Structure 1
């Protein structure tokens, strides 16, 4: 800068008016050539910020869509398996009810058989044993289906968790790749901006140097011509030379003022380019801060989704445990009903054997005992049916609670 200032101070020496008129268009042309570089750089930086924003939003939308699809498939499969299990349980219950009904029909038929001996039971024990074997087989089938259903639920939950972890890993890998590519793009844009700025500075310096050389050449040529004219016409044009000298002095003063204004404009242009470079550096720093903030926000969102999934899994496990406990209580109640009915039948058989020896004397008491046994069996059957209805209502309430929890989970996922 000092050499350029010294050259411009040398250029303020006396010369002809043609020098200033030729130098002003070149200065304006150099200013016009160096000015339009900064708006293009700002537009590039703005477009880069918009592209980064769009890529980040696209990645977040893709990750959320994949996660929602996995959760939806898992919920649909769970609902299907639950419905199948409920249908199988209802079928087994209907089979047990039909077998119990057949047992009662056989018992009534045997009691109402015509003949002299009303106490003859025929092959009732064998039928009862066969029915008990069928009930045992049905219970074993129900237990094996329950175990298989629990295993399928566990396997599907594990596969869903693995798929979710795989999707998270893929999302993290893609996010790292995009961040790396964006950083490379930023570095390339920054290098391009630096290169263009260096080229603009070099062109500006070359233009100034060319103008300085032109000014010096023109000054030397004008000085030689003026000295030759002054030496040849010194005697004849002394007064004209004095007048011309005075006019030239005024013109050179004006030219010096113009050169000072040009130097001031060049300094302002250089300062504006430096200010634009500082603004670009500040914009790059703000972009880096925004990228770090977005990464932190993505990690926080992932942590919140993981905690929501864990809470939902815990609630589902609690509801599943309550459902298993209710099923165990139902099984215990059914076993208790069967035991009581077997005890009642044993009591009836013992009473019949004891009253066989005293049939003539105790016919009335035998009838009363039969009526008592029938009423007892009806009471036990009614109690068993009541308990079965209560267990069915409990299972329905638990199923409604499970569906409600699933709806709340889906609403929470939609809100998140």
Structure 2
């Protein structure tokens, strides 16, 4: 097997991908749907997968989703495009964590939003005092934000989990300042410890202010492109008014539904164990290699780990040296809401084979050490 040190991209573990199980599910789906596949799936998508999404939510949250509020999309990225594109007009203001998923930032910038970053910590997520201060500042300028965007569980890129207290306060602030919350839960269920995440904002919401985005891609395979959003009226209809694709693949949806209907718990246990072992291998190698000069997050789940580097780090030099060993990672500036240069990097650990993680992260540790320069040299650059 060729060694792959690509610690980039939020891909699941390929070595627990259930090929045989999906072959069996494909046969069941085709026999069930048959000639019905000549029809368009419709804007809400295949009912069987919406029922599964409801069951999945009930499994973790204790209450089901209304299947009529669920719309299947081509991965969570299409859900983000639809939701953000509906509620952002050029010049509108949106609030998000100061570090957030680069894809989300890309959509916001494409929509010409004014992005306001809110300080956060790596454990409990967005700081609610800081959020309140930002909302007060905007109100004083007669600016009403379109929404607050948050990745509530296993946040990308930091792996933070928004605490229950902060979730409840966020809902209070959304009510007080009359705005929406877009809750991106695309890493939900990727848990390395029992029950690490509080109740979903969508579940806690008492006044129809939360739109939920989720996906099956991150627990199965990104190539399947099966995500969804959950929105009640009138927001569901507003979002659908911007949709023109006729719905995403009913066949792919039916295959995923047939497989997870019988194997969701089993698959999550298997893949989470594998991904958790990889995360621990990354952390163990970092401890051995750079614990005296770097700090990093300790994920309780998800696909990412965030490393803060010394201020004396030459970021170009790290990339050059790591690249000589084909070690890939993501630079921290890609996740900053303004794109500011930051001395941080993100590692995605699920894709690389467990046996190669020590070697690959070892090369990265060597590159970090070799990239340390005198402050005067950095200033000269």
Under a length normalisation based on structure 1, what TM-score does the superposition of the two structures give?
0.18
Richer in helix (by share): 1
Structure of higher CA gyration radius: 1
Under a length normalisation based on structure 2, what TM-score does the superposition of the two structures give?
0.19
